[in-house]
Structure 1
Amino acid sequence: MSSSLAGVVLAGGASRRMGRDKATAVYAGPAGSRTMVEHVVAAVTQRCDPVFVIAAPGQTLPQLPATVLRDEVRGVGPLLAAGRGLRAAAEAGCERAFVCAVDMPLMTAELIDELAAHDGAEIVVPWDGRDHFLAGIYRTELWERVDELVAAGRRSMRALTDEVQTQRVVMAPSAALTNVNTAEQLV
C-alpha cells in the first residue's frame, strides 16, 4: 500500500435519479449485500491510506474504516466535495488521491493500481468511450485550484480537468467503472 496515495469517496450527492441517498442504498454484489459506501470504501482501503468519505450535512452513514468529512452546504456538486477531500489528503501528507463516486460498488483495487501506475499528469482518469472523472487519480495540490473554480461559480469536475494536465487511460469496458444510478440497478 502506498502511503502517498489517499482515497476520497464522494458520498453526499443528491441522487436525483435514484430518488434516495445512494451511499446507504444496499447493493447485492459479488462481495455480498451491503451499502454502496461500504462496497466502495472496502475497495479503496485496499490501496489507499488515509481514506476520506465526503458526506452531506446530517447524512447518516454506517460505521466505516475511513474519516468522514461533511460538506458545509448541501447540493453544490462534486467539485467542492472533491476539493475538500484533496485538501484533507494534502494535509495528511499525500501527494495523490484516488477520487471516486459512491455509486461504483463494483470498483476494484486493481482499477486503482492501473490508474496509479500513471504518474505524469495532474489528473489520471479512465476512458472507455467516456471520461470517468469520478474514478481518477488527482494531485492533492489541486485543492487550491478547485477553491478558485468554485469561487468563480464553476461546479463540475470537467471544469477542473479542462484546466489542468489530464491523462486519459484507455480501458476496455469494465464492471469496475459501472455507476449505479437507479433503484432497478441495485440488484
Structure 2
Amino acid sequence: MTSPLPLAAVILAGGASRRMGRDKAAVPIDGPDGPTTLLQRMVAIVSPRCAPVFVIAAPGQALPDVPDVNARVLRDEVRGVGPLLATGRGLRAAAEAGLEHAFVCAVDMPKLTIDIIDTLAGPARRLGVDVVLPWDGRDHYLAGIYRTGLHGTVDDLIAAGARSMRALVDAVDTQRIVMTEQAALTNVNTEADLTALIPPKFSQQSH
C-alpha cells in the first residue's frame, strides 16, 4: 500500500458572509464534542489528515481561538478581493513549509470528512495534475487539492485582474472527480442552511 499523499490544509476564513449576516468563522455550532465554532470545527476536521493547517483571515478580523498547535493564522493584505488572493497566500505558505500539495477549503463546511480529502488525494498522487476537484453537478473550488507551486500562477492571475477561483482552475491542469451530492460538500451560507445541516440539539424546552 502506498503511503498517503502529504497535505497541508488552507482554510479560507475571511469572507464577508453577507448572507449569513455575521462572520462565519465565529458562528457557534454543536460539534461532536460539544459547542464549538465553524472555524474550530473545520480545523478539527482537517488537522488529523493535514499538517500544517493555514487559516487565511481578513485584515483585522477577530477569530475564535484555534488551539491546534499545527494551525497558523495568516492575514490577507487586502480585504474583500475574493478567495483567489487568499488561496495564493495559503499555497505560498504551504510551499514554504515544504509541502507540494494542499487541501484548500472554505470555513463553512462543517460536515466535511477525511474520506473526501483522501478520495481526492489518490488522483492527485497518481495523475500528477495541478488541481483535483470534487464535481457533483458543479465544481467545488473550495474543497479541492492544489499544487502549492500554483501560488506563482495565482500572482500572475491577480496581476492580470482575475479574482475568481475559476480563473485559476481554467488556467491549469485540473481533474474533476464525480461524486454524489452530499452533506460533506455542503456550504452553509445562511442560518437556515446551518440549521438544516446541523439541527440544534435542543430546539425547545418542554413546558
What TM-score range do you get, normalising by the shorter chain?
over 0.9
Give matches, 1:51-90, under 5 Å: 51-64=53-66, 65=68, 66-90=71-95
Looking at structure 2, the residues matched to 162 and 39 of structure 1 have their Cα atoms a distance apart, in angstroms, of 31
Structure 2, unpaired ranges of 5+: 196-207
Is the 8 Å Cα contact of residues 123 and 136 (structure 1) preserved in structure 2?
yes
Residue aligning to 2:29? 27
1:38 Cα deviation (Å)? Answer: 0.9
Quick one: structure 1 residues 33 and 186, their matched pair in 2 at CA, closer, same or farther if it must change by over 3 Å? farther
1:141 aligns with 2:146: no
1:124 counterpart (118, 127, 132): 132
Which amino acid is 1:92 matched to? Answer: A
1:33 Cα deviation (Å)? Answer: 3.1
Residue aligning to 2:103? 98
Looking at structure 1, the residues matched to 100 and 49 of structure 2 have their Cα atoms a distance apart, in angstroms, of 14
1:183 aligns with 2:191: yes
Deviations 1:18-55 (A, max 9, x none): 11101111123555431111111111101101110000
Is the 8 Å Cα contact of residues 122 and 166 (structure 1) preserved in structure 2?
yes
- Number of equivalenced pairs: 187
Is the 8 Å Cα contact of residues 124 and 166 (structure 1) preserved in structure 2?
yes
Residue aligning to 1:44? 46
Report the structure number with the largest CA radius of gyration.
2
2:179 counterpart (166, 171, 175): 171
Looking at structure 2, the residues matched to 150 and 33 of structure 1 have their Cα atoms a distance apart, in angstroms, of 38
Looking at structure 1, the residues matched to 29 and 165 of structure 2 have their Cα atoms a distance apart, in angstroms, of 26
The two structures, once aligned, show a CA RMSD in angstroms of: 1.4
Deviations 1:72-110 (A, max 9, x none): 111000000000000000000000000000011111111
Which amino acid is 1:35 matched to? Answer: T
Q: Counterpart of 1:49 in 2: which secondary structure? A: coil
1:60 Cα deviation (Å)? Answer: 1.3
Which amino acid is 1:12 matched to? Answer: G
Is the 8 Å Cα contact of residues 122 and 139 (structure 1) preserved in structure 2?
yes
Looking at structure 2, the residues matched to 32 and 127 of structure 1 have their Cα atoms a distance apart, in angstroms, of 32
1:110 counterpart (109, 115, 132): 115
Looking at structure 2, the residues matched to 8 and 55 of structure 1 have their Cα atoms a distance apart, in angstroms, of 11
Deviations 1:134-156 (A, max 9, x none): 00000000000000001111000
Looking at structure 2, the residues matched to 30 and 112 of structure 1 have their Cα atoms a distance apart, in angstroms, of 20
Q: Percent identity between the aligned chains?
A: 66
Q: Counterpart of 2:158 in 1: which secondary structure? A: helix
Looking at structure 2, the residues matched to 2 and 40 of structure 1 have their Cα atoms a distance apart, in angstroms, of 20
Quick one: structure 1 residues 113 and 31, their matched pair in 2 at CA, closer, same or farther if it must change by over 3 Å? farther
